[in-house]
A and B are shown apart, each in its own frame.
Chain A
Amino acid sequence: DIQMTQSPSFLSASVGDRVTLSCKASQNINKYLAWYQQKLGEAPKLLIYNANSLQTGIPSRFSGSGSGTDFTLTISSLQPEDVATYFCLQHNSWPLTFGSGTKLEIK
C-alpha cells in the first residue's frame, strides 16, 4: 500500500497568513492527489483533486501543486472559517490511502 505522510501535524497561523501544508507519497502517484477539509463534527469536503484542480464551489484562496511524490496545499490568505483538519488522499492506485492529517488553527 502507498503510505501518505503529512506535515506538519499541527499548524497555528494568523488570519491573512499564507499557509502551506505538505503531503508526501511513499511512491510515485503521478498527479493523483486530492485534498479534503474536515471541520469539527462534519464529514470531509473535497477541495482539490488531480493535485491542482479546484473543486466546484471552493474559494480560490485554496490551491494545490506537486506531482510524483511531493504535494502542497496552499491557502493564500487564511480565514477564520479555514480552521479544520486537512487530509490528503492518493487516488492513483488501490487501495486508496489517506494521510494522517494536518490540524490548522488560528493564532
Chain B
Amino acid sequence: EVQLVESGGGLVKPGSSLKLSCVASGFTFSSYGMHWIRQAPKKGLEWIALIYYDSSNKYYADSVKGRFTISRDNSKNTLYLEMNSLRSEDTAMYYCAVTTEAPFDYWGQGVMVTVSS
C-alpha cells in the first residue's frame, strides 16, 4: 500500500524558514518524480514543486521560485521542501504527491504551515 507521510509543519513568523519532509513507502520511491502541492485555508489547490526521480530536474511555481527548494534522499525514501523567506500568503496545508499511473494518484495527509507574527 502506497503511503506518504508529511511532517515538519508549524507556526512561524514572516521571514523565517521551515523544512518539510515526506516519507514514502509502498512503491519504488527512487523511480518516480515527486511533487509538493499546497492548499490555503478554504481555497483551491496549487502545485508548487516537482523533482525528477533522480533529482536531475526541479521545477517550481512562480509563487515560490527563489524561496523554496525541493530535494530528495532516495536512500531514505524521503522528499523535502525547504521554505525560506516565508510570507503570510504561504500559510497553507502542504501535501506531497506522486504520479505513478495517473496524475497525482497518491497524496499524503498533509502538514499545516502557518506564517503569522
Contact = CB atoms under 8 A, between A and B. Distances in A.
Interface of A: 34, 36, 42-46, 49-50, 53, 55, 87, 89, 91, 94-101
Contacts of A96: 47, 103
Interface string B45-60: 1110000000000010
B101 to A, nearest CB: 8
Contacts of A87: 44-45
B105 A55 contact: yes
B81 to A, nearest CB: 16
A107 B103 CA distance: 32
Given A43-B107, A45-B107, 5 more contacts: A42-B109, A43-B95, A43-B109, A87-B45, A99-B44
Interface residues of B, number: 15
B110 to A, nearest CB: 6
Interface in B32-74: 44-47, 59, 61
Nearest to B103: A91
A59 B95 CA distance: 25
B59 A98 contact: no
A85 B59 CA distance: 28
A21 to B, nearest CB: 14
B47 A98 contact: yes
Contacts of B110: 43
A46 B44 contact: no
Given A46-B104, A53-B102, A89-B103, A101 B109 contact: no
A62 to B, nearest CB: 14
Nearest to B108: A43
30 contacts: A34-B102, A34-B103, A34-B104, A36-B45, A42-B109, A43-B95, A43-B108, A43-B109, A43-B110, A44-B45, A44-B95, A44-B107, A46-B102, A46-B103, A46-B105, A49-B103, A53-B102, A55-B105, A87-B44, A87-B45, A89-B45, A89-B104, A91-B103, A95-B59, A95-B61, A96-B47, A98-B46, A98-B47, A99-B44, A101-B44
